[in-house]
Structure 1
Amino acid sequence: MSKLTMKILLLLAVTCFSLRGFSQDTALKVLPPVWDLEACLQYAKTNNIQLKSLQLDKQSAQQDKLLAESALLPDLYGSASQSFNHYNMATNGNSGGLNYSGSYGLSSSWTLYKGGYLKTDIKQKDLSVQSANFAILENENDITLQITQAYLSILVDKESIIYNEDLVKTSQAQLEQAKRQFAAGSVARKVVAQFEAQLASDKYNLTTSQNTQRQDKISLKQLLQLPDAKDFDVVKPDTVISTGSITDLSTVQQYALQNRPEIKNAELGVQISDLGLTKAKAGYLPSLTLGAGMGTSYAKDPNYNAFRQFDNNFYQQAGLTLSIPIFTKRQNKTNVAKAKIDIAQSKLALENTKTTLALNTEKAYINAQNSQGQFASAAEQLKFNQEVYRIANQELKIGVANIVDFYQQRNLYVQAMQSYIQAKYNAALAARIYEFYLGTPIKL
Structure 2
Amino acid sequence: MKNLKISGLLVILFMSFQSFGQQKKWTLEECVDYAIKNNISIKQISLDNQTSRISKSDAIGNFLPTVNGQASHSWNIGLNQNITTGLLENQTTQFTSAGLNVNVDIYKGLQNQNQLRKANLSIISSQYQLTKMQEDVSLNVVNAYLQIVFNKETLKVQQEQLAYDTKQLERSNELLEAGVIPKGDILDIKATVALDNQRLIAAENALLISKLSLAQLLQLKDFKEFDIVDGDTVVPESSILLQDPKAIVDKAKELRTELKIAQTNVSIAEKDVKIARGVYQPTLTGFYSFNTRAAYSDRVVGIVPNASNPTSVIGYVDGTGQQVVQPNFSPILGKPDAIFNQFSDNKGQNFGLSLQVPIFNGFAARNNVSRSKIALERSKIALQQSEIDLERTVYTAYTDTKGAQKSYEAALVTFEARQSALEYAKERYEVGLMNVFDYNQAQNMFINAQSEVLRTKYDYIFRTKILEFYFGIPIFSK
**TM-score normalized by structure 1?**
0.89
Q: Contact 1:105/1:296 (CA < 8 Å) preserved in 2?
A: yes
Out of 95-104 and 422-431, give the one that drifted further. Answer: 95-104
Q: Contact 1:241/1:424 (CA < 8 Å) preserved in 2?
A: yes
Other-structure match for 2:47 = 56
Report the Cα offset of residue 321 of structure 1: 0.6
> Relative to 1, partners in 2 of residues 1:265 and 1:276: Cα closer, same or farther, differing over 3 Å?
same
Report the Cα offset of residue 185 of structure 1: 5.1
Matching of residues 376-391 of structure 1 within 5 Å: 376-391=409-424
Q: What is the rounded CA distance, in whole Å, between the counterparts of 1:248 and 1:171 in structure 2?
A: 48
Which amino acid letter does the alignment assign opposite residue 291 of structure 1?
A: F
Report the Cα offset of residue 316 of structure 1: 0.8
Report the Cα offset of residue 204 of structure 1: 0.4
Residue 316, structure 1, aligned to residue 310, structure 2: no
Other-structure match for 1:257 = 253
Other-structure match for 2:35 = 44
Cα deviation, 1:193-247, whole Å, max 9, x if unaligned, reads 1111110100100110110011111111121111123221112443321454312
Residue 285, structure 1, aligned to residue 276, structure 2: no
From 190, 195, 202, give the equivalent of 2:196: 202
Give the match's secondary structure for 2:66. Answer: coil
> Relative to 1, partners in 2 of residues 1:227 and 1:390: Cα closer, same or farther, differing over 3 Å?
same
Q: What is the rounded CA distance, in whole Å, between the counterparts of 1:397 and 1:239 in structure 2?
A: 36
Q: Contact 1:242/1:372 (CA < 8 Å) preserved in 2?
A: no
Other-structure match for 1:241 = 235
Matching of residues 417-436 of structure 1 within 5 Å: 417-436=450-469
Residue 163, structure 1, aligned to residue 157, structure 2: yes
Which amino acid letter does the alignment assign opposite residue 345 of structure 2?
A: N
Cα deviation, 1:257-297, whole Å, max 9, x if unaligned, reads 11211111100111110111001100000000001010211
Q: What is the rounded CA distance, in whole Å, between the counterparts of 1:391 and 1:206 in structure 2?
A: 26
Give the match's secondary structure for 2:65. Answer: coil
From 425, 436, 454, give the equivalent of 1:403: 436
Report the Cα offset of residue 395 of structure 1: 3.0
- The unaligned stretches of length 5 or more in structure 1 are 1-28
Report the Cα offset of residue 301 of structure 1: 2.2
- Higher-strand-fraction structure: 2
- The unaligned stretches of length 5 or more in structure 2 are 1-19, 82-87, 300-335
Q: Contact 2:180/2:431 (CA < 8 Å) preserved in 1?
A: no
Other-structure match for 1:371 = 404
Q: Contact 1:240/1:424 (CA < 8 Å) preserved in 2?
A: no
Report the Cα offset of residue 39 of structure 1: 0.8
**TM-score normalized by structure 2?**
0.83
Out of 79-88 and 50-59, give the one that drifted further. Answer: 79-88
The share of aligned pairs that are identical, in percent, is 30
Other-structure match for 1:98 = 92
Report the count of equivalent residues. Answer: 413
User: Runs in 1 of length 4+ with deviation above 6 angstroms?
Assistant: none
Residue 218, structure 1, aligned to residue 182, structure 2: no
Residue 82, structure 1, aligned to residue 78, structure 2: no
- Higher-helix-fraction structure: 1
Q: CA RMSD in A?
A: 2.2
Which amino acid letter does the alignment assign opposite residue 294 of structure 1?
A: F
Out of 185-194 and 433-442, give the one that drifted further. Answer: 185-194
Report the Cα offset of residue 191 of structure 1: 1.6
Q: What is the rounded CA distance, in whole Å, between the counterparts of 1:47 and 1:195 in structure 2?
A: 50
Give the match's secondary structure for 2:64. Answer: coil
Which amino acid letter does the alignment assign opposite residue 105 of structure 2?
A: T
From 251, 271, 275, give the equivalent of 2:271: 275
Q: Contact 2:397/2:467 (CA < 8 Å) preserved in 1?
A: yes
Report the Cα offset of residue 394 of structure 1: 2.9
